[in-house]
Structure 1
Amino acid sequence: MSTLPRAERNHPGAARGGRRRARRGLVLLVCAWIGAAGLPGCAVGPDFTRPAPPQVDAFMRERAPATFEAAGVSQTLRAGMTVHDDWWTQFGCREIDAAVDDALTGNATLDAAEASLRRADDQLRAGAGVFYPQVGANAGVSRQRYVPLHVGSEVAPSIFNLFTLSASISYAVDLWGGNRRYVEGLAAQRDAQRYALAAAYLTIESNVVNTLIARAAWRDEIDATREMIGLVREQVRISEERARAGTAAYAAVLTLQNEQATLEATLPVLEQKRAQAADLLATLAGMLPAQGTAPELSLHEITLPADLPQTVPSQLVRQRPDVLQAEALLHAASAGIGVATAAMLPNITLSAGGGLSSTSLASLGARAGQSWDLAANVAAPLFQGGTLWYGRKAAQDAYDASRAQYRQTVLSAFAQVADVLYALEYDAGALDAQTRALAAAQEALRLLRADYRAGTVDYLQILVADGQLHQAQIAWLEADAQRLQDTVALYAALGGGWGDGDGKR
């Protein structure tokens, strides 16, 4: 009930005074909102701090050599080397460059990851709306039958139209920083999705390069195997002639036929692998297998990068996308503790509203139908059956789990780098041994050919030595392909390219 005297309530100035008080109240509400938003305040819950890098200066127990040399080609780890996002161009192969570009353009996994990043960014923008007042408006029209009997009056019922127009504004004061922690968590989730996209890019790039290297190696192995089959077939023919002439046992023919069949059995396996590699390349490029065309590539067309990046351990956790993603998820879990803590504390909501009502549209703005209200509400949870308390405990447990997951991700990253460095060292040793074996087989064949021209050995020995040379070539191809693929693994283990500085691909 109004506290104004009856005379003042009936005075025209009373209405104007009420409107002035309403305007002052609305101004006070807006000022309160601006002040609450501008105050630094406190945000409950822990302030997130990036985990410190592991305090080690090497990835391996024994310090890795700086240079890996084999087959006349050396690879050197160089500190401070800049690696750009298109790291695969270091292999100097146009077919690889084109295949990676096709995959980055049409890959469905990347499309999904990019859409997820856009969704996370939109969710962050939507969540930031909690910092602004909520304004609403409502308009309505209804036809009503009013029965005064409900209030004890025996006046006849009346039927009338009611037109209403109202507006409201409210603002939840972020007294404890719960809203700030909520938006902080959304931002961390967005960052996690961005690093997940970077990890997807790196995985696709590595898969394309590895697949092309493997396919090139299988092609070269198929060519060498077919040449070996031709040599064994010639040995079978000569052995059969000797068996018919009685100068050799037929068992030698059977042995050679078995060797020929064994070699021929390896061809379908190699051809199957090449076909499956072509299907994988098509899938990575977002095409159906029937639509894809894989390049015909030899290992000799792929250049082994001579200079490799050398990264110190403290840098690895700042450039690998999977580690950065785990860090962002840890940040989000930290913000979740603040949100759960703020939910346990009192909250304040400021609101104001006003409306117009009339039985006719023409008189909708009349003073008699004007109404307004101002309110400040304080709500505090008193008893929730442990819901809020254990909700905060659950948020703390989630943070502990994310912290353990981050630690495991870092351990796995360091182990992967160490494994690749070991692999490059041992690849060089294996390829060096295979190179010596290949050179010995070539020299043995050269000497036998000289003896054959001198008439001291027969042609069958030439064929056997030539077959051994092809076997050495196949072993060398496998060792060379492994060295190339482990080089790809090093780029992937170090996080791909990080020299462009924009964090995007």
Structure 2
Amino acid sequence: MVLPSFLSRVRPLALALSLGGLGGCMLGPDYRRPAVSMPVEYKEAAGWKAATPHDGKAHGDWWQAFGDPQLDALLVQVEVSNPNVAQYLAQYAKARALTGEARADLFPSLSGSAGMTRSGSGGGSYLTSSTGSSSSSSGTQSSRSVSGISNNYSTQLSLSWEPDLWGKLRRTLEENRTSAEASAAELADATLSAQSSLAQNYFQLRVLDERIRLYDVNIRSYQRYLQVVRDQYEEGQTSRATLAQAETQLESARASSLDLQWQRAQYEHAIAILIGKAPAEFSLPVVEHFDYRIPQTSAGVASSLLERRPDVAAAEREVAAANAAIGVALSGYFPDLTLSASGGFQSSSTQKLFTVANRFWSIGPSFSQTLFDFGATGAQVDQARAAYDATVASYRQTVLDALGEVEDCLVELRTLETELAARRRAADAARESERVTYDQYREGMIDYLDVATTQNTSLSEQQSVLQLVATQLVTSVQLIVALGGGWQSGTEGLAEAR
């Protein structure tokens, strides 16, 4: 066959030029990570407890450190069911596809075609027969239209390739690849953010359950107290003001309990949405007792944030993509070379299509270059450099924000530990004061107003303890997430994007 013979001649040339093009120069600066000022250690980590193990990293499923099976089951669903995470997953898949497309542009493309056309030309009519007589003017005649019709059959293969003389295609591949890596990090960050929100909502809900349970206990006590006071009032042993005070205390506690119940419902709705369910399809039953654990977390060295925070990694990869875009823009100053070759057969008959006499072929290079564009190429280069500077500034700001988040969580957790201990002592003292005061009231030594005051104080202190527990749990989640959760750069997702 002639066409395979033609391709056998072209293939060595294309391979040689491909290897030469892939080894050509690359315009634009080679990427180097921007320098950022990183402290040796965190300011607020002084005296901080070391975690076990002592590597300062939360690997894998970070939420397991809290030891709550219900929380574990919920957080696993975020990665597979959360619509926002699914959106970032689709964007990552798109970025990887763009990387594959850019990689394919480095190599020749082969296309084929086959077709048949029918065409006609000319045409007319001529007389075929006639009859007649001298006695009449009648007769008959006929004509036939004639036209030239031809068929044309063809088959063709075309080979085209743009040698990457100036590194434009390789810089484009670099830009798309680093963008895909940034997309992978953004996916991890979105997943971590959704998991963090769910964990915080879960702990808030569980503590609200404890606070509602505490109100229920006090409401039952207030009901008993109210019955005692009502009996005394009916017997004339106490005043109407004392009865009103007992009623006020009971109804106030009921109102506060109802206020917490709608808050609990809203947290439950938020959890349902985070796992990709409608609120009507999800419920989280109240547990008999909420046993919580505050995990010990080691902050590690500050510089580890550059590898452990997915948002920092995403910002750094965006810088790398912007750096590659400069090389793409600079290539606009230089001509594009395209090598093309085609060959095939063309005939009016399929029986004689694949013969030497009916073959055709062409091969040759072509150059294209913008000779004058009124500064458009220079403007594109300036845009690329400005975009790079913007991503560098954004990267450095992201690092600063990350450092600030860790410092904030460290100081809050350290302070909360001392504050919670003091609040628990105050709650214990308030409960003792409530007990003593009620005993004095039963002995007739004081009025019920004093009892109500100490009871309200005791309830308030116990509620404050639970509120601090919720804050401590939420801050613990925030610290783990601020340190990057279980994510680390160089994960499988990033490796696949390369």
* Contact kept in structure 1, 2:152 and 2:348, CA below 8 Å: yes
Aligned to 1:193: 183
Aligned to 1:35: 19
Are residue 94 (structure 1) and residue 69 (structure 2) matched?
Answer: yes
Distance 1:167 1:146, change over 3 A: farther
Deviation of the 1:158 alpha carbon: 4.6
Which of 90, 111, 132 aligns to 2:107? It is 132
Are residue 64 (structure 1) and residue 46 (structure 2) matched?
Answer: yes
Distance 1:103 1:347, change over 3 A: closer
Distance 1:113 1:499, change over 3 A: closer
Unaligned segments of structure 1, at least 5 residues: 1-15, 68-74, 148-155
Are residue 418 (structure 1) and residue 401 (structure 2) matched?
Answer: no
Aligned to 1:484: 473
Distance 1:284 1:55, change over 3 A: closer
Deviation of the 1:478 alpha carbon: 0.6
Are residue 117 (structure 1) and residue 117 (structure 2) matched?
Answer: no
Matching residue's letter, 1:469: S
Distance 1:303 1:314, change over 3 A: same
Are residue 181 (structure 1) and residue 171 (structure 2) matched?
Answer: yes
Percent of aligned pairs with the same amino acid? 28
* Contact kept in structure 1, 2:434 and 2:451, CA below 8 Å: yes
Greater Cα offset, 332-341 or 379-388: 379-388
* Contact kept in structure 2, 1:78 and 1:308, CA below 8 Å: no
* Contact kept in structure 1, 2:246 and 2:452, CA below 8 Å: no
Deviation of the 1:434 alpha carbon: 0.7
Deviations 1:409-430 (A, max 9, x none): 1111111111111111221122
Q: How does 1:396-475 map to 2 (within 5 A)?
A: 396-448=385-437, 455=443, 457=445, 460=448, 465-475=454-464
Q: 2:490, 2:329 → 1: CA distance?
A: 36
* Contact kept in structure 2, 1:45 and 1:339, CA below 8 Å: yes
Distance 1:282 1:323, change over 3 A: same
Matching residue's letter, 1:194: A
Aligned to 1:339: 328
Secondary structure (helix, strand or coil) at the match of 1:165 reads strand
Matching residue's letter, 2:46: A
Unaligned segments of structure 2, at least 5 residues: 123-145
Q: How does 1:73-88 map to 2 (within 5 A)?
A: 79-88=54-63
Matching residue's letter, 1:188: T
TM-score, normalising length from structure 1? Answer: 0.85
Distance 1:35 1:104, change over 3 A: closer
Aligned to 1:363: 352
Matching residue's letter, 2:184: R
Q: 1:19, 1:464 → 2: CA distance?
A: 100
Deviation of the 1:368 alpha carbon: 2.8
Q: 2:383, 2:22 → 1: CA distance?
A: 31
* Contact kept in structure 2, 1:217 and 1:477, CA below 8 Å: yes
Are residue 268 (structure 1) and residue 258 (structure 2) matched?
Answer: yes
Are residue 230 (structure 1) and residue 220 (structure 2) matched?
Answer: yes
Aligned to 1:161: 151
Deviations 1:170-207 (A, max 9, x none): 11010000000101111011111111111122112212
Q: 2:463, 2:487 → 1: CA distance?
A: 36
Deviation of the 1:275 alpha carbon: 1.1
* Contact kept in structure 1, 2:245 and 2:452, CA below 8 Å: no
Deviations 1:239-260 (A, max 9, x none): 4455555554433433443333
* Contact kept in structure 2, 1:53 and 1:314, CA below 8 Å: no
Deviation of the 1:23 alpha carbon: 6.4
Secondary structure (helix, strand or coil) at the match of 1:132 reads coil
TM-score, normalising length from structure 2? Answer: 0.86
Deviation of the 1:165 alpha carbon: 1.2
Q: How does 1:489-504 map to 2 (within 5 A)?
A: 489-498=478-487, 502=491
Aligned alpha-carbon RMSD (Å):
2.9
Alignment coverage as a number of residue pairs? 469
